[in-house]
Amino acid sequence: MGRLIKGLLTKGLALSISDLRVSAPRGRVLLSIPALEVPAGALVGIEGPSGAGKSTLLYALAGLLEAEGHIRWGAEDLLSLGAEKRARFRARSIGMIFQDFLLFEELNAGDNAALSALFRPRCDRAALRAQAAERLAFLGLGGDISNRPVSSFSGGERQRVAIARAMASEAPVLLADEPTASLDRAAADRLIDDLVTLARASGTTLIVVSHDTALISRMDRVLTIRDGGLAGDRKAAA
């Protein structure tokens, strides 16, 4: 485990938002963020009431929603890209973790974690599978366990497979939408430790939407979204 942590590279991307606006089809404004700067490698939590626009912001940051303004990851302005280039950037640079895991039940943990290898050039697939295996091993799911179908896994184990999948390609950005919401407290706490340790060790820029105060408190910075706008920006509790 220690060897893996030391071998990870620091490679997060800085985020710069200006004049971001997401609207519903009939014109109602769902999200409006005039300006936001996040340094590379930062861990950021997003909190706020249900329906406030938290997930809208997260999905806009992934380039999954049509929006106006600018979302710059490093030197790349995501909203200036066409659909195909945006998808390529997302595949290369952004890993995503969802509340409901989105795993293939008939596949084992190793195949789920290395799923993105199927969409990469043949010459890159072996390295990505090896990286997925390393992430699983760090998360306690290496060896024979990785050969078990995920249908036999607990919720916490499934979410750790999802983390390994999101980080297998060494994406510099990791976006997570309520990653602990489906877990009991003990499993959630183990997952928080794993996620934070991996993100800090790799220098990944991590942005998490969550109602879980235990997860939010482990971030460097907490943004509060309310009524589609940025209502607060503070350091997380020590």
Q: What is the per-residue pLDDT across 187-203, written as a single tens digit (0 to 9) for each? A: 889 889 989 998 999 89
pTM for the whole structure: 0.86
For the cut 90, the answer to whether the pLDDT of residue 10 exceeds it is no
- What's the pLDDT tens digit per position in 74-111? 999 999 999 999 988 988 899 888 877 778 888 888 88
Residue 167 in contact with residue 159, Cβ under 8 Å? no
- Taking each helix axis from N to C end, the angle separating 122-138 and 185-202, rounded to the nearest 10 degrees, works out to 130
Q: What is the mean pLDDT of the segment spanning 145-160?
A: 86
For the cut 50, the answer to whether the pLDDT of residue 2 exceeds it is no
Residue, of 11 and 232, whose pLDDT is higher: 232
pLDDT on residue 1 = 42
Residue 78 in contact with residue 175, Cβ under 8 Å? no
**Whether domain 2-13+40-52+94-235 has CATH 3.40.50.300:** yes
Check residue 182 and report its DSSP letter: T
- What's the pLDDT tens digit per position in 43-57? 999 999 999 999 999
